Structure formats: C-alpha cells, structure tokens
C-alpha cells in the first residue's frame, strides 16, 4: 500500500497549497505528489518565496480593485452619505445600502461588509461596539 505522501495530486492543488499561481508551478516529468508539495514547503527555495510574493501582490491588487468597484457602485446607487459614526446610521442607512449592493452586484455579504467598513468605518465600528455591549 503506497504511503499517503505518495498520493498523486493535481498541479492546481499543489499550487494552491504552496500559495502560488498555477503558472509559477514547475513542470515535473511525472505527476505531482503530496511528498513533492511537502518537500517544497519545508525547503522553501528562493523561487518559491518569489512566487509567493508575486501571488500575494496579485491577490492584494485584485482585492483592492474589487473594493474600488464596490465603493463606486455604492456611490452610483446613491449611498454617498458622510460617515457620521453612529449606530443609527449603521442600522438604518448602511444595512439598506448593503442589501441593495448585494442585490445589484450579486457580491457576497462578506464583500459588501468590507465595502461598508471601507466607506463608513466609524459607523461600522459604532455598531460593532454596540453589539459587543449588548452581548454582555
């Protein structure tokens, strides 16, 4: 019976586990195994470190781009009120904006929540503090 580390894995899985883009994964003359992935994770060659940096930069840029798109969409939908830093604004205005945003853009609730934190950080913090006090 082959050892668990000898299990063949898909190259895309190997890239994901290594935290790099698929295009940066070296081509082997044989199928990738869990042992190959573990060996690279443990040895951390320079090319892997650089590939991880490139991947992290691309992910960060994609996240920033998506956040800017959602911010612009909130403004386009008419949600451009200043950040008042109040629980009322969070409960009455921002919640409606997020519902509208998720409906129109089909973004996830997590993405919408991050957009709200970016747009109205003081009101979102006030709502969170209020919820924390209410929990006690």
CB 17 within 8 A of CB 45: no
The phi, psi pair for 2, rounded to 5°, reads -70, 150
Q: What is the pTM of this model?
A: 0.71
Closest by Cα among 123, 135, 121 to 91: 123
Q: With a cut of 50, which residues of the chain have pLDDT below it?
A: 1
pLDDT for residue 106: 94
CB 105 within 8 A of CB 70: yes
In tens, the pLDDT along 74-109 reads: 999 999 999 999 999 998 999 999 999 999 999 999
- Separation between Cα atoms, residue 117 and residue 114, nearest integer Å: 5
pLDDT for residue 136: 57
pLDDT for residue 2: 62
- Separation between Cα atoms, residue 96 and residue 76, nearest integer Å: 15
pLDDT for residue 100: 95
pLDDT for residue 3: 84
- Separation between Cα atoms, residue 13 and residue 19, nearest integer Å: 10
pLDDT for residue 134: 64
Compute how many other C-beta atoms are within 10 angstroms of the C-beta atom of residue 71. 15
């Amino acid at each position: 019976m082959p050892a668990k580390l000898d299990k063949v894995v898909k190259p895309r899985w190997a890239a994901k586990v290594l935290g790099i883009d698929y295009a940066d994964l070296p081509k082997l003359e044989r199928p990738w195994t869990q042992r190959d992935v573990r060996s690279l994770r443990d040895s951390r060659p320079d090319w892997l470190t650089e590939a991880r940096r490139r991947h992290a930069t691309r992910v960060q840029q994609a996240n920033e781009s998506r956040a800017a798109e959602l911010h612009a969409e909130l403004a386009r939908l008419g949600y451009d009120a200043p950040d008042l830093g109040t629980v009322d604004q969070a409960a009455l205005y921002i919640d409606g904006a997020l519902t509208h945003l998720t409906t129109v853009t089909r973004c996830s609730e997590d993405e919408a929540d991050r957009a709200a934190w970016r747009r109205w950080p003081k009101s979102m913090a006030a709502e969170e503090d209020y919820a924390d006090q209410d929990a006690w």
